[in-house]
């Protein structure tokens, strides 16, 4: 799984939980909160959907790792790989 795949997974989740947001021009390196109207409730949903759809656990202390698409990819890619090889 590439980092771009991980980014797409995160974007798909955001599209599902915030269908009123325009995701066509999201910059990978910029914090999601600075580009989209997402609050802590929405981030909880991203975490919940990662668990529900992909079996990936994100402990609360690691939530800051989900700040941007780049940081999501860096943080989640090893988790997806570990999952795939398990």
Least spacing, CB of residue 20 vs another protein, in Å: 7
User: Considering only residues 5-44, where is the footprint of another protein by CB under 8 A?
Assistant: 16-20, 37, 39, 41-42, 44
Q: Which residues contact 65 (CB under 8 A, 6 or more apart)?
A: 58, 71, 72, 74, 75
Single out the segment in contact with another protein by CB under 8 A; choices: 5-13, 51-59, 66-74, 77-85: 51-59
Q: Which residues contact 52 (CB under 8 A, 6 or more apart)?
A: none
Chain residues that interact with another protein, rule: CB under 8 A: 16-20, 37, 39, 41-42, 44-45, 48, 51-52, 59-60
């Amino acid at each position: 799984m590439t980092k771009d795949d991980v980014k797409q997974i995160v974007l798909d989740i955001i599209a599902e939980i915030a269908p009123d947001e325009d995701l066509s021009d999201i910059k990978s390196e910029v914090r999601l909160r600075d580009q989209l109207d997402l609050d802590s409730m929405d981030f909880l949903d991203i975490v919940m959907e990662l668990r529900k759809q992909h079996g990936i656990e994100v402990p609360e202390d690691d939530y800051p790792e989900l700040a941007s698409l780049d940081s999501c990819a860096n943080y989640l890619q090893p988790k997806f790989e570990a999952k795939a090889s398990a």
